[in-house]
Structure formats: C-alpha cells, structure tokens
Amino acid sequence: MEHYNMNLTLKVWRQPNKNSEGRFETFDVKDISSEMSFLEMFDVLNERLISEGNDPIAFDHDCREGICGACSMHINGRPHGPWHATTTCQLHMRAFKDGDTIVVEPWRANGFPVIKDLVTDRTSFDRIIQAGGYISVNTGNAVDGNALPIEKDKADASFAAAACIGCGACVAACKNASASLFVSAKVAHLALLPQGEPERKNRVLSMIAQMDNEGFGSCTFTGACEAVCPKEISVTNISRMHKDYLWAGLSTEK
Amino acid sequence: MLNGKIPEGPLEKKWEDYKGHVKLVNPANKRKIEIIVIGTGLAGASAAAALGELGYQVKVFCFQDSPRRAHSIAAQGGINAAKNYQNDGDSVFRLFYDTIKGGDYRARESNVHRLSEVSGNIIDQCVAQGVPFAREYGGLLSNRSFGGTQVQRTFYAAGQTGQQLLIGAYQALERQVALGNVKQYTRHEMLEIVMIDGKARGIIARDLVSGELERHFGHAVLLCSGGYGNVFYLSTNAMGSNTTAIWKAHRKGALFGNPCFTQIHPTCIPVSGDHQSKLTLMSESLRNDGRIWVPKKQGDTRRPSEIPEEERDYYLERRYPAFGNLVPRDVASRAAKERCDAGYGVGSSRQAVYLDYAAAIQRYGKIEASKRNLANADADTITLLGKEVVKEKYGNLFDMYEKITGENPYEIPMRIYPAVHYTMGGLWVDYELMTTIPGLYALGECNFSDHGANRLGASALMQGLADGYFVIPYTIGNYLADDIRTVSIPTTHAAFEEAEKSVRERIEKLMSIKGNQSVESLHKRLGKIMWDKCGMARNAQGLKEAIVEIQQLKKEFWSDVKIPGGINEFNPELDKANRVADFIELGELMCKDALHREESCGGHFREEYQTEEGEALRQDDKFMYVAAWEMKGEHEWQLHKEDLNYEVVKPTQRSYK
C-alpha cells in the first residue's frame, strides 16, 4: 500500500455545553499520514490545540476497533464518513487526499442532546433496552445449552441483528431521527430465538413506546439507516418489527 | 503469610462444600443491603445483574456513556467451557489442568478448579439470555480450538464473542435497572474508596459531564474495572481502560498481586508510526487455520507470494510440533520476537511475521467442493469456495485488518506482531474474591487470581462471567450475613468528608500545575520505558534503569503537566491526567516486582533465566508464590507472600513440543 502525507482543512462543530449555541470552527492540519486513523488525526490536532493553549475538541471514542459503538462523528454529511460499513475509528486517512476540506459534526437528533462539541448523550438507547430489550431469565435458571437446538439459519439471522453496536448512526442518518433500525435490531435478535418467544409481544410494544417517548421520529422506510450502519444491520428488521408490532397490538392476549 | 481462605477437603469437593456451608442473607435483609459495583464489563455487568436479581440494592458505575461499551465488548475469539460436547476427552479436570499448566504453575489450584466447574453453567446461562452463539446445521452449539489445549472447548459468535456475551449481561443488567434493583451511573469515574472502621463503606465518584464529586455508601464495594495494559501506552485495550479504581484501593491498603504478569498477545497488527494511539488484536482463533512463518533468509525483501514454500520457515510448527501454531500466547510471542530480533522479520519495519491463510483457503475449498459434489472443481472454484468458508469464520477480523492496513488478507498474508493485551496481575483476593480490605472485592481481570503467569485464550470471558454470575452471589453473603445490622451510613460521615476532600485537593493540584507537557506525551514516555524494559523480555539492569526513569517521570508529571479546561466541566484531558498519574505509580511497582522475581514464568521472561532452547526457566524452589505488594509510602512497597501448594497437579517444565 502506497503511503502519503496530506494537508487538510477541517470544519468542526464546537459547542461548549448542552445549553450554549454552537458554531463551526476551521482548522488547518498539516502532514497527516494516510496510515493514520481518522481519530488519530484528531489526536494530532488536539495535541496542537493543547500546546497552543486552546481547548481541545471533545469526541467520544474508546475501543478504536469498531465494536464499542462510542465513536460518533458525522463526516462530510454522512455518519461515520465515506467508507461503507465502517465506524469513525476504523476510517483511515487514505480515504482523503491532499487539500481536502472535511466537515465534522455531532449526531443531530432530539434523542441525542449535545454534551460538548462532538459528544452527545445517548442514554435514551439504554432506556429503550430497559423497556424490554432482554429475556427475563434470572441467573441459575438455565437448562443445558444444547437442550434447545436452534436452526442455524435463524441463529445466524439473530446474530446478524445482534451485531448492532448501539452507536446511533442510524438515527443520525434519518431525516426523521428515527431509532427504528436500532430498536428493530434488538427486537429481531430476540424474536428470532425460541428463548425470546414468551415476551415477544410485550417487548415490541414497550420498546416502540419508549422510542416514541424519547423523541425519536417515525420510520418512512427511506433506508438511509441501513446505508450508513457500520454493522450492516438490514432494514428487513424494521419490517419484521412492524409486523410484530401490528400482530402484538391486535392480539388480545399479551 | 497471606491466608487465601481456601476451604478444606479434596479439590473437587471444595466449592460444593463451601456452598453448602456458607452463611446466607435472607431476602428481607438483602433488600436493606447496598452494594456498589465499579465497571460494567463482563464481571461488573454480570455481578450487578446477579446481585440485583437476588434483591440487593445495587449501584453500578462506568466511565463510558453506556454500560454496553465496556472493553469486554472487544473480545473476539471465544469462551471456554468444559462441556465436552465434542466427545474429544474434555472434562472439568482437563480444563482445570490446562489452565494451571498454561499459567505456568503460578495460579491457585482451588480458584482455577472452581472456575472450571462453573464454566458449563456460563454457557447455559448465556444461551438462555439469547446470546447467539455459532451453531452447526443440526442446531447444536459449535466449538473451535484455541491455544494451549488439544480439545475443542471454545464457544464463539463469529469474531464477536465478547460483544455478544456483554450484550447478554448488559441486557440482564438493564432489566434490573428497569425493575429498580440497580441504579446505574454512566460517565462516572470512581476516584476514592471510603473506609470506615477498617472496612470499605463507599466511594467518591466524579461525574465526568459536570465534574462534580459524589459520595455513595455501600455495605460492600466490588471492583470490576478490568486490566491495566494501558500502562504500556500502546496496547489492545480501549483508550479509556485504566488502573485508577484498583490503584486507589491499593493506596488504601489492598495488596497488589503479581503486578508484573503481563500478557503479550502474539497476533496483533504491527505499529505503523508515531501517531499510533492503540493496537488492534487479530483473534487467536486465527491461529486455528492460519500458519505463521518468516522467510528462511535474513532480510528477505521479496513479496510473500514470491517466496517459495521451501524457503519459508514455519517456525512454530518447527519448534513445537505437538501444538504447532496453537502454542500458548507467551510462547508464540517470544518466538516471533526471537525471529524478528534475529533479522528475519518482514514488512517495512521488519518487526512483523506472516499469518498466512492460503493453505486454509485451499483446504476448506476442497472440503466444500466435495460437500457440493463438485468432483472436478477447478483451482479458481476451490479458492473461491475456500474464501467463503474463511469469510464466514473470520470475516469481521479480515475486514478490520483491511481497513487498518489497506491490504487484502484473503490475497496477501497478514503481517502481525505481539502487543500488550491482558494483565494477569491485579488486586490480591482470597477464595471469596475479597481483597485484603474487608468488604472490598475484585472480580474479573482486575484481580490476580486465575491465570497465573499466562492466560490461555478464551479464558478471560470465562473468568469474568464466572466471578460475576456464579461466584460472588455466593461468597458475598458470607460477609454480608454479619453486616445485616449495619444501617446505611449517611454520606455526611467524617470519612466521606475526608475522602472527598482528598480527591478535590488532588484534582486542584493537577489543574494548578499548568506546565508544558501534555498528558498524552507523558503517557507515551511511560509506555516506552515499560515496553523497552518491562515488556516481552526483561533483565535486572533494564528494570533498575526503568525504576529510576519512572521516578523521574513522576516528578516531571507532577511539576510540568499541562491540562487545559476547568474542573467543573466535561474535560477528558483531566480524566486522562487522573489515570496517567496512577499508571506512573503502577509502572514503578511492576518493574519492582519483575526485578524481584528472579525466574522466568509464563509472560514474565527474565533473560537471565532461560533454558538452552530459550524457553522460560522457572525457579520453583524460590518463587512458587504469589507476590502481593503492600504500599508503604512514596516509592516504597513491602512484599507479602502466598505460597502456592500444588496438591493435585505436579509442576513440571512446561512443554508444548
């Protein structure tokens, strides 16, 4: 792989806290290696800001392996930037070329208020899980793991939905800031397994009710969420969720 | 001499007998007892959920914005359990034995046997929670091999096993939050243990959004805060992983066990430059099918595809024919270092070896072709089919490699090099997982207990969940049963006052330094000292130098660190400064421990103590003990010992040949 260095112009959203007004600030960054990750480029910039006595840019990040779901930058109008099926931390600078201007914003949604700069509050997702995103089994109640064979196709489909990292890119991409892809991934993960069957109706009703309470919008099935999802969660899950929702809503027995 | 409170009786009966006689807390009393849990990885989330289910009032804290992001999420390969579903000779005893041997005879037999006993329950529990483990076409659970064993006992969910297990524990935790049994505090960091009458009775936590300090009371405090690999700056740990919670406990008197026992993982993506902020692991499961090699010729700069088969040195298969590419991690890492140091390394840095999938792709391709009745499949078809199989097994890892390096590992062998991954050392705990401070427990990676001097792959997830789901719910009752009369202590108590004051003063001191060096730059320097002198190979002279250099670095940190922003605001640089200050002190202790342990064992390799073939040489007559360090003052520690008595396993020179 050919390596190169580049100079870039960054336009980054700055906002001191939840209640203050934000604005874009422009930075020139020089000698960025194509081998760096996008966040390492921010590390370089922040080190410079600190040495100049300025406030470094706040952003969420932790594992830097694309699995914890903490990183969350809206890059050039696209959550997590230009690469398909990639989190911000796994985006590398060879996606850009010398002289590029890059615009970086936080997730924008009522359900995700800004804490500072590019950091948002995503505790709404925890509350949606609390509304029913689990199987009610206390520790110690389990039977042998192989007592319940599960068709491989269903287990695989359940796993594909369970791969969601809860980053919120789906919400950030949606014109209605709907959390449907996130919620449906959890609904599908559990509904596809026999263990999830007993609570299937209540789960889908409660989780959707909580999603609405948190201020997330409705799904219009545009598919922007699937296009930006770093884990390629399919919109098929949303169809499945709507089907379950109807079925559960129309049933008299919950 | 430390008392591990190991129950009497034969090894295989200890846990059963313990459970049969341990004191209980009745349900009405459980409701009055408050427990604090620090950390929401596998150990913390499972403990908080399980204790909430029992009816205790639990408060759980994590520094991340959600419990689901704790670093257990990143574990890739799998979780061991002695289920013997493969009928290949596995048993509780064999898992126990493999773990003791893998740890190079520096772990406590009783704890490891218990771990092995409960391993099967973990799989059952996770399946019941809906963890989507990999399955065979018949619908039953699938297993794969991992390093250091000759049976297939590893359960997995593609290369995302940690994620799926943590989501299972997280969901169980959120259910308890919804039921009101657990209160969760995200973006909070524990900065002090509050002690009253010699017992842990609470914590001081900092709200990382507002910067405010908070007081929380607990009848007991559980630390589940993970490992301290970031003392090396570069590691496979998450950026926020830190030692602060256990270091505060250590400063309050909890002994620190075997701090120098560090695991260097053999298969990580090599460092690409000075900008590097962290290293990425390529799961050990890749060694199931991948073959590791370097050119036979020193300084060979040809492309890997241009190097013919007979000019490749599959050095692990050559040196360790019995285990081949599946030797334990410490052995594989040292072998890679040996080849690179001798001038056989590959890639632009020459600090890498190849992990090659070409043979596996062909092998799987042929199997797949025969499954599909393609008798005369051509070479391209076989390669294509083989790639599909490899993609299903390891797809996410291959994608990750390609994103980071820009190279396609289906076509070009991966370049890998060892990196810091896990810390076997941690707070010393007894059989009940209690530290030397009454009421203060340590679970999961942050304790020292189960992995000796080297952890086997797929055993960290097992230990985290064993401690949280199946050990602490029993052992904590033995302590709390005597505490049912203790009414919640108001946080206006002088001890809370005092603890909060000391935390506030330390933060104010840090902010008042206003020096010239960033936290990051000082952390990087610490990491370089540690990696160069307390890393994969250590010697007395280097360790002595490192101690002096770290003491100097500590002075520099406390006189010249530069932290922007203010105290009462969201300030990640201040959070980092708090953590790095603790890493510096820990680094010194690690070097002291490594210097005192004049032997090689597991991941601790002292160059002075090796066999003629370059293998680790233990000194069982002198060092068959856990080194537990007590902090006595600035740069001063006192050594305590817990002798390791092997009643069942007979320690021998570990051989994987």
C-beta atoms of B403 and A166 within 8 A: no
Cβ contacts of A30 within 8 Å, gap of 6 or more:
A7
Domain identity same for A103 and A71: yes
Domain identity same for A128 and A246: yes
Domain identity same for A134 and A104: no
φ, ψ dihedrals at A164, nearest 5°: -55, 135
Average pLDDT over residues B639-653: 95
Cβ contacts of B435 within 8 Å, gap of 6 or more:
B223, B249, B254, B255, B427, B428, B429, B441, B442, B447
Task: Give chain B's mean pLDDT.
Answer: 96
User: With bands split at pLDDT 50, 70 and 90, how would you rate the model's confidence at B437?
Assistant: very high
Domain identity same for A79 and A176: no
Average pLDDT over residues B594-616: 95
| Inter-residue contact B333 to B352 (CB < 8 Å) | no
Q: From the CA of A138, how many Å to the nearest CA of chain B? A: 6
The domain boundary, picked from A55, A82, A115, lies at: A115
Interstrand relation of B34-38 and A119-120 (parallel, antiparallel or unpaired)? unpaired
d(CA B138, CA B157): 17
Task: Determine how many CB atoms are found less than 10 A away from the CB of residue A44.
Answer: 19
What are the angstrom distances between the C-alpha of B34 and each of A14, B67, B220? 41, 20, 7
B139 touches chain A (CB under 8 A): yes
pLDDT at A215 over 80: yes
Average pLDDT over residues B41-62: 98
Could you tell me the two tokens for B267? Answer: 């298969």
Contacts of B272 in chain A (CB under 8 A): 35
Specify burial of residue B347 (Cβ count, 10 A radius: 0-12, 13-18, 19+): middle
Task: Determine how many CB atoms are found less than 10 A away from the CB of residue B89.
Answer: 9
d(CA B607, CA B613): 12
pLDDT of res. B525: 98
Domain identity same for A86 and A29: yes
Contacts of A65 in chain B (CB under 8 A): 74, 280-281, 400
Query: Using one digit for the tens of pLDDT, what is the confidence trace for B56-113?
Result: 999 999 999 999 999 999 999 899 999 999 999 999 999 999 999 999 999 999 999 9
CATH assignment at residue A71: 3.10.20.30
Q: Find the length of chain A.
A: 254
| pLDDT more than 70, % of chain A | 99
Interstrand relation of A74-75 and A78-79 (parallel, antiparallel or unpaired)? antiparallel
In terms of CA atoms, which chain A residue is nearest residue B182?
Answer: A130
Cβ contacts of A152 within 8 Å, gap of 6 or more:
B135, B136, B137, B139
Domain identity same for A166 and A234: yes
pLDDT at B283 over 90: no
The domain boundary, picked from A70, A99, A115, lies at: A115
Contacts of A92 in chain B (CB under 8 A): 403-404, 406
Q: From the CA of B653, how many Å to the nearest CA of chain A? A: 37
| Inter-residue contact B356 to B304 (CB < 8 Å) | yes
Range of the domain at A186: 123-250
Query: Using one digit for the tens of pLDDT, what is the confidence trace for A184-202?
Result: 999 999 999 999 999 999 9
Contacts with A, B 78-137, CB within 8 Å? 83, 85, 120-121, 123-130, 132-137
C-beta atoms of A40 and B167 within 8 A: no
| Inter-residue contact B59 to B83 (CB < 8 Å) | no
Domain identity same for A86 and A195: no
Contacts with A, B 224-283, CB within 8 Å? 238-240, 272-273, 275-278, 280-281
Give the DSSP H/E element, type plus range, for residue B46.
Answer: helix B42-54
What are the angstrom distances between the C-alpha of B465 and each of A139, B131, B161, B183, B229? 11, 13, 13, 20, 20
Q: Please say if B329 is a catalytic residue.
A: yes
ipTM more than 0.90? yes
Query: Using one digit for the tens of pLDDT, what is the confidence trace for A81-137?
Result: 999 999 999 999 999 999 999 999 999 999 999 999 999 999 999 999 999 999 999
Domain identity same for A60 and A149: no
φ, ψ dihedrals at A216, nearest 5°: -80, 150
pLDDT at A231 over 70: yes
Domain identity same for A107 and A200: no
Question: Comparing B289-293, B391-395, B443-447, which segment has the lowest mean pLDDT?
Answer: B391-395
In terms of CA atoms, which chain A residue is nearest residue B277?
Answer: A40
Number of independent structural domains in chain A = 2
C-beta atoms of B141 and A17 within 8 A: no
User: With bands split at pLDDT 50, 70 and 90, how would you rate the model's confidence at A254?
Assistant: low
Domain identity same for A135 and A245: yes
Query: Using one digit for the tens of pLDDT, what is the confidence trace for B248-282?
Result: 999 999 999 999 999 999 999 999 889 999 999 99
CATH assignment at residue A183: 1.10.1060.10
Query: Using one digit for the tens of pLDDT, what is the confidence trace for B324-376?
Result: 999 999 999 999 999 999 999 999 889 999 999 999 999 999 999 999 998 88
Specify burial of residue A179 (Cβ count, 10 A radius: 0-12, 13-18, 19+): buried
- Domains plus CATH for chain B? 265-357+398-419 (3.90.700.10), 492-643 (1.20.58.100)
Domain identity same for A76 and A174: no
Cβ contacts of B565 within 8 Å, gap of 6 or more:
A55, B571, B573, B574
Average pLDDT over residues B481-502: 96
Residue type at B344 in one-letter notation: Y
pTM: 0.97
| Inter-residue contact B395 to B388 (CB < 8 Å) | no
Task: Give chain A's mean pLDDT.
Answer: 97
| Inter-residue contact B522 to B573 (CB < 8 Å) | no
Catalytic residue among B329, B334, B339, B606: B329
Contacts of A56 in chain B (CB under 8 A): 564, 572-573
Q: Which of A44, A49, A146 sits opposite B141 (nearest CB)?
A: A146
Interstrand relation of B188-196 and B199-207 (parallel, antiparallel or unpaired)? antiparallel
pLDDT at B129 over 90: yes
Q: Which of B125, B135, B209 sits opposite A115 (nearest CB)?
A: B209
Phi-psi domain of B621 (left: phi exceeds 0; alpha: psi -120 through 50; beta: other): alpha
The domain boundary, picked from A57, A91, A115, lies at: A115
pLDDT at B427 over 70: yes
Question: In A138-175, which positions are buried (b, 16+ CB within 10 angstroms) versus exposed (e)?
Answer: bbeebeebbeeebebeebbbbbbbbbbbbbbbbbbbbe
- Angle value at C-alpha B105, between B103 and B108, nearest 5 degrees: 90
Strand partners, B38: B61, B223
d(CA B89, CA B92): 10
Contacts with B, A 42-71, CB within 8 Å? 43-44, 47, 49-51, 53-56, 58, 60-70
Domain identity same for A87 and A196: no
| pLDDT more than 70, % of chain B | 100
| Inter-residue contact B361 to B180 (CB < 8 Å) | no
pLDDT at A251 over 90: no
